[in-house]
């Protein structure tokens, strides 16, 4: 059994989506970020960074419990453990991992900061403009990749897609991003949102 500690945010949705896409059992623990539950000492033992998502694999290596933090590391761990959502051939495999890094190092921080300035410092236009422009540039990189393939790495959904779907899905509401400028990303967004596993992964927050 895998314990999933998360919340209904662009990073938080990744893990239930992955678990549902994989089809493995898990126990969901939804943290109240407003109450700072992610900063409590017991949670910092699971993620020293005090953020969601995190997991504990109760049946980790040698049968021991293993905590894992950082969404990219969690998805890679799950993909390797269950043999799903990651191509086996070395080229496509590292390409999927590269997209996961692209999301945690690029799309996530840039969109996060764009949202921060829009919501908290709307008067400081240069901050919002800077992160909005960089978000557009990065989604443009996704656009190029998705012009030729249905998913970021070829014909199948991988961890690369799951890393991005929460951010792309919420970008309009969060900081006024216009996805219609990127037709291939828009089509991919619809493709992802129509997947059974992805729908189930998102639905866990509605019923929680």
Q: How far apart are CA 103 and CA 114, in angstroms?
A: 15
**Cβ closest to ligand GSH, residue 81 vs residue 154:** 81
Beta carbon of residue 52, minimum distance to ligand GSH (angstroms, whole number): 4
Distance CA 112, CA 25 (A): 30
Q: Is the dihedral of CA 168, 173, 177, 181 positive or negative?
A: positive
Tell me the C-alpha distance between 174 and 47, whole Å.
Answer: 25
Which residues, 54 to 73, sit near ligand GSH by CB under 6 A? 70-71
Beta strand 54-57 with 2-6 is antiparallel
Selected range binding ligand GSH among 10-18, 115-123, 148-156, 181-189, rule: CB under 6 A: 10-18
Query: Binding string to ligand GSH for residues 66 to 105, with x set by CB under 6 A, is what?
Result: ----xx--------------------------------x-
Q: What distance lies between CA 86 and its chain's CA centroid?
A: 15
Q: Which is nearer to ligand GSH, 12 or 197 (CB)?
A: 12
Q: Which of 24, 33, 44, 141 binds ligand GSH (CB under 6 A)?
A: 33
Structure-token pair, residue 86: 């990651």
Binding residues (CB under 6 A) for ligand GSH: these are 9-12, 33, 38, 50-53, 70-71, 104
């Amino acid at each position: 059994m895998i314990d999933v500690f998360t919340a209904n945010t662009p990073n938080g949705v990744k893990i239930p989506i992955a678990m549902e896409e994989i089809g493995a059992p898990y126990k969901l623990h939804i943290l109240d970020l407003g109450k700072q539950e992610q900063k409590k000492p017991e949670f910092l033992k699971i993620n020293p960074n005090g953020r969601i998502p995190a997991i504990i694999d109760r049946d980790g290596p040698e049968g021991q419990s293993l905590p894992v933090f950082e969404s990219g590391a969690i998805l890679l761990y799950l993909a390797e453990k269950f043999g799903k959502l990651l191509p086996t051939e070395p080229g496509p495999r590292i390409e999927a991992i590269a997209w996961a890094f692209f999301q945690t190092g690029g799309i996530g921080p840039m969109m996060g900061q764009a949202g921060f300035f829009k919501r908290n410092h709307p008067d400081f236009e240069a901050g919002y403009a800077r992160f909005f422009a960089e978000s557009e540039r990065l989604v443009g990189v996704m656009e190029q990749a998705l012009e030729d393939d249905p998913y970021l790495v070829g014909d199948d959904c991988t961890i690369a897609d799951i890393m991005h779907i929460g951010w792309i899905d919420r970008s309009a509401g969060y900081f006024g991003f216009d996805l219609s400028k990127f037709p291939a990303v828009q089509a991919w967004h619809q493709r992802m949102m129509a997947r059974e596993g992805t729908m189930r992964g998102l639905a866990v927050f509605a019923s929680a």
